[in-house]
Structure 1
Amino acid sequence: MKIGIYFKRFSRLAAEVALKVAEECSRRNLDVYIERTLIENEDLENKDIVDLMKKYSVGVFKLETPGVDVIAVIGGDGTLLRVFHMLGNPRIPIMAIRMGRRGYLLDVTPIEISDRIEDLTKGRYKIVEYMRLSIRDNETIYPPALNEVAIVSIGMGRSKVIRLKIYKDDKPLYFMEGDGIIVATPIGSTAYSMAAGGPILDHSLKGFVITPLAPVQTWLRPIVVDANSKIRVLIAEDSQEAYAIIDGQFSVKLQPGRSLVVERHPDPAKVIRFHDIDNAYERLFMRL
């Protein structure tokens, strides 16, 4: 089995945990590969650990063209989301190792590493698929979103009201003025959307939620739509410019008159789960 390792850059703790992963994998005769940017970047603080990891590795891999069976990701939500955005082969499952208190999809804690890698070699795990969002306009296809895409106003010094027309399957859903909207997946419904007053969707549901942000029209409420829906968000001609922010990692400026189409992505994110996922709500509320 080929195991790729990627950890949060400039984090000493994450680098030390990554070294532990490399040691445990090598001890079980698993082929260890280090992600290329960890070797080539300017993270001088962790250069000594990366050099130690090389003793256990048989080569390097690229997230864009991984060529491994499993990728162990060590860090937090941002690190995991970054990997999913960069991953060239969505069929490769991720073993996520959590470095903080939150991190709903990061299933493994550092003290569990030895046991979980043993479980991995014995096949004692599940691969759970999580829906992602496809995001495009007339010119560009953007990175898929695991959590959400937020179309928001960002002004210098203060937020500016933007005007949006929302369509579902090419039929008008509503017109809104406010700070923007969020289109979130079920897993993303527990993130930014929830903080904005949106509902929590059960992860088994095939749908996504549209959550308005501070709308002038106070009657507007979040709407849950079927996963097969096509949502189009049009920036009105008389609106301020807006920004589309994907999973808090990637942003693009949207001028008035431009629209963004959001649909279900054909390739879900694949996450290795070792623990009981039926207690999802208990785990969620413990971390709030």
Structure 2
Amino acid sequence: MKFGIVGNRSKFELPNVVQRLVSTLQQCNVEFIIDEEIVELLESKGVRLGALQTGKYEECVRGVDILIALGGDGTMLSAIRSVGAAGTPILGVNLGKLGFLAEFAPDELKSELERVIAGNYIIEERLTLEAVTPSLPGQVFHGANDIVVDKSRSARVIDIETYINGVFAVTYRGDGLIISTPTGSTAYALSNGGPIVAPAANVIGITPIAPHSLSGRPLVVPDTDVIRVIARATTNEILVSADGQEAGILEQPIEITIKKASHKMKLVKRIDRSYYDVLRAKLMWGRDARSA
């Protein structure tokens, strides 16, 4: 088994966590490669890790059995994008605030790594999305959480015609539209009133952003459906993003087609920790504030 190690170099805890991680892997006599920029950061702080196999970020992501991503959910999403169709399983260590995707805490890193090395873990496969638009020919955008059509910098609402498998469904009028995976149901979609969807569900969520109508409700469709949206605005620009990364500010009207991607993301998970455990711990799901 070979591990790759990448991380968010802006995180204060990173040097300490990397030292503990490297020590554990060496004690277990496991092969690994670490992002050379992380090593350079530690050396600039006077920390010497000794002789290690280092490489560029891309080398750490490909050609390994498991990728360890140190950071928050942004770091995880970046790692998922980089892995792409290669399908390398990702083990996320949370150095951020919420860390819904990066489920392992730094203080459990040693014990969990030993479990993983011993084979006591599961790999959870999750749906991802892909989107194309005639406005940007030849480009395909991938989202582990979501694809978002937004009104950009304008204060005015936009109209978004929504088609399912070529059949007109509804026109949403508001600030935008979120097309989300089950994983993304606890991200931006949740903040806009979308439902929480278990990650194993084979569905895609469609959630309006600040709909200018009492009847503008979220919609859940099978992941075999193809969603096409046509967005129009009184101003000239509409923003399209994938997992919070700007794909482009496009002149309207724009047309985008979103569907299930051909590849899935793979996350390393504990055998004894369920999705609902994570919901309760990180989103305080079901907690009664009156009893706090």
1:151 corresponds to 2:187: no
1:70-110, Cα deviation, whole Å (9 max, x unpaired): 11111101111111112255321111111234212222111
- Give 3-state SS (helix, strand or coil) of 1:175's partner: strand
Mapping of residues 88-127 of structure 1, within 5 Å: 88-127=84-123
Residues 152 and 210 of structure 1: is their aligned pair in 2 closer, same or farther, counting only changes over 3 Å?
same
Q: CA deviation at 1:251?
A: 3.3
1:5 corresponds to 2:5: yes
Q: CA deviation at 1:135?
A: 1.4
Paired with 1:69 and 1:50, the residues of 2 have a C-alpha distance of 30
- Give 3-state SS (helix, strand or coil) of 1:67's partner: coil
Residues 247 and 93 of structure 1: is their aligned pair in 2 closer, same or farther, counting only changes over 3 Å?
same
Paired with 2:214 and 2:26, the residues of 1 have a C-alpha distance of 58
Q: CA deviation at 1:35?
A: 2.1
Structure 1's unaligned 5+ residue stretches are none
Residues 119 and 282 of structure 1: is their aligned pair in 2 closer, same or farther, counting only changes over 3 Å?
closer
Residues 220 and 81 of structure 1: is their aligned pair in 2 closer, same or farther, counting only changes over 3 Å?
same
Check conservation: 1:34, 1:60, Cα contact below 8 A. Answer: yes
Check conservation: 1:39, 1:50, Cα contact below 8 A. Answer: no
Check conservation: 1:75, 1:98, Cα contact below 8 A. Answer: yes
Paired with 2:76 and 2:97, the residues of 1 have a C-alpha distance of 15
Residues 101 and 284 of structure 1: is their aligned pair in 2 closer, same or farther, counting only changes over 3 Å?
farther
Q: CA RMSD in A?
A: 2.2
- Give 3-state SS (helix, strand or coil) of 1:103's partner: coil
The one-letter amino acid of 1:22's match is V
Which of 49, 59, 66 is the matching residue for 2:62? 66
1:24 corresponds to 2:24: yes
Check conservation: 2:159, 2:172, Cα contact below 8 A. Answer: yes
The one-letter amino acid of 1:178's match is G
**2:83 aligns to what?**
87
Residues 144 and 56 of structure 1: is their aligned pair in 2 closer, same or farther, counting only changes over 3 Å?
farther
Q: CA deviation at 1:67?
A: 1.3
Residues 15 and 49 of structure 1: is their aligned pair in 2 closer, same or farther, counting only changes over 3 Å?
same
Residues 224 and 242 of structure 1: is their aligned pair in 2 closer, same or farther, counting only changes over 3 Å?
same
Q: CA deviation at 1:4?
A: 0.8
Mapping of residues 1-288 of structure 1, within 5 Å: 1-38=1-38, 46-48=42-44, 52-53=48-49, 55-63=50-58, 66-138=62-134, 139-155=137-153, 159-236=155-232, 240-278=236-274, 280-288=275-283
Q: CA deviation at 1:283?
A: 2.2
Paired with 2:130 and 2:221, the residues of 1 have a C-alpha distance of 15
Structure 2's unaligned 5+ residue stretches are 284-292
Paired with 1:180 and 1:50, the residues of 2 have a C-alpha distance of 48
- Give 3-state SS (helix, strand or coil) of 2:103's partner: coil
Q: CA deviation at 1:150?
A: 1.3
Count the aligned residue pairs: 280
Q: CA deviation at 1:50?
A: 9.1
Paired with 1:39 and 1:142, the residues of 2 have a C-alpha distance of 33
- Give 3-state SS (helix, strand or coil) of 1:219's partner: coil
Paired with 1:33 and 1:2, the residues of 2 have a C-alpha distance of 8
- Give 3-state SS (helix, strand or coil) of 1:63's partner: helix
Q: Which runs of 4+ in 1 moved over 6 A?
A: none
Paired with 1:24 and 1:68, the residues of 2 have a C-alpha distance of 18
Q: CA deviation at 1:61?
A: 4.6
TM-score (norm 1): 0.89
TM-score (norm 2): 0.88
Check conservation: 2:143, 2:242, Cα contact below 8 A. Answer: yes
- Give 3-state SS (helix, strand or coil) of 1:141's partner: coil
- Give 3-state SS (helix, strand or coil) of 1:250's partner: strand
Give % identity. 27
Paired with 2:51 and 2:192, the residues of 1 have a C-alpha distance of 45
Check conservation: 1:162, 1:241, Cα contact below 8 A. Answer: no
